[in-house]
């Protein structure tokens, strides 16, 4: 994660947050944690400092958000003391995390829109090649930004390009990233992040 990514995310209308994600569907459990772009219109984008938020999406009621302090001296001390009291009373509940009915699935089955940042040679036809590669993977380009003044590499012949793609799973996002790096016009320095969606 670099400052330039924070700036590009802001320009696109996003804030970057570290999101822990979990889902239970058809007795399969999916868990992961990633730096993620969150829309500035989402409640999650407003969470900062010692505050944490939990967003729950389920059928019937849609999305609900639970918000409160999750770090800092007082909240941490309160949680530790509560655990000590539970232990002393012998009432510490240990949830059964490994029930046979729950099977952990590979996280790359879930699809997310993606943020790609590339450093490319400043020459004609580069964007066309990149667009063709996305088309080969049947992946749409929702937004594309190119700013020559954002290049901090010191090479005046390279410019950063940011692409927001349609939804794709982790495995194919990694394949696309490798294919992009394999292009002669693209530098090895490539960043890729998930984009959170409130629609589940």
Residue at which a domain ends, from 104, 136, 171: 104
Same domain, 119 and 134: yes
Average pLDDT over residues 29-51: 91
Dist. CA 93–CA 95, nearest whole Å: 6
Dist. CA 123–CA 157, nearest whole Å: 8
pLDDT per position as a tens digit, 45-72:
999 888 899 998 888 888 889 998 877 7
Residue at which a domain ends, from 86, 104, 122: 104
Residue at which a domain ends, from 68, 83, 104: 104
Same domain, 55 and 122: no
- 4: which 2 tokens? 């330039």
Q: Is residue 200 part of a domain?
A: no
Cβ-contact 54, 35 below 8 angstroms:
no
Q: Is residue 186 part of a domain?
A: yes
Dist. CA 118–CA 139, nearest whole Å: 17
State which residues form the domain around 133: 108-195
- The residue ranking higher by pLDDT, 78 or 35, is 35
Same domain, 125 and 186: yes
Query: Global pTM?
Result: 0.81
Dist. CA 146–CA 181, nearest whole Å: 17
Cβ partners under 8 Å of residue 194, min gap 6: 19, 34, 36, 37, 112, 113, 114, 115
Dist. CA 112–CA 165, nearest whole Å: 9
pLDDT per position as a tens digit, 127-175:
999 999 999 999 999 999 998 765 555 566 889 999 999 999 999 999 9
**What are the angstrom distances between the C-alpha of 164 and each of 9, 112, 161?**
10, 11, 10
Same domain, 152 and 180: yes
């Amino acid at each position: 994660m670099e400052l330039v990514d924070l700036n590009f995310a802001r320009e696109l209308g996003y804030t970057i947050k570290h999101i822990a994600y979990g889902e239970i569907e058809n007795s399969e459990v999916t868990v992961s944690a990633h730096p993620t772009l969150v829309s500035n219109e989402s409640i999650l984008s407003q969470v900062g400092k010692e505050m944490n938020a939990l967003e729950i999406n389920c059928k019937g009621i849609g999305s609900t958000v639970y918000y409160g302090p999750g770090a800092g001296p007082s909240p941490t001390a309160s949680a530790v003391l509560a655990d000590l009291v539970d232990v002393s009373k012998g009432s510490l509940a240990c949830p059964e995390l490994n029930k046979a009915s729950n099977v952990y699935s590979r996280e790359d089955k879930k699809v997310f829109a993606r943020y790609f940042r590339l450093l490319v040679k400043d020459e004609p036809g580069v964007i066309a090649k990149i667009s063709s590669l996305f088309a080969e993977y049947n992946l749409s380009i929702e937004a594309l930004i190119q700013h020559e003044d954002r290049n901090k590499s010191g090479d005046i012949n390279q410019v950063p390009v940011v692409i927001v793609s349609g939804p794709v799973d982790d495995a194919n996002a990694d394949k696309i990233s490798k294919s992009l790096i394999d292009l002669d016009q693209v530098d090895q320095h490539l960043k890729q992040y998930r984009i959170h969606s409130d629609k589940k």
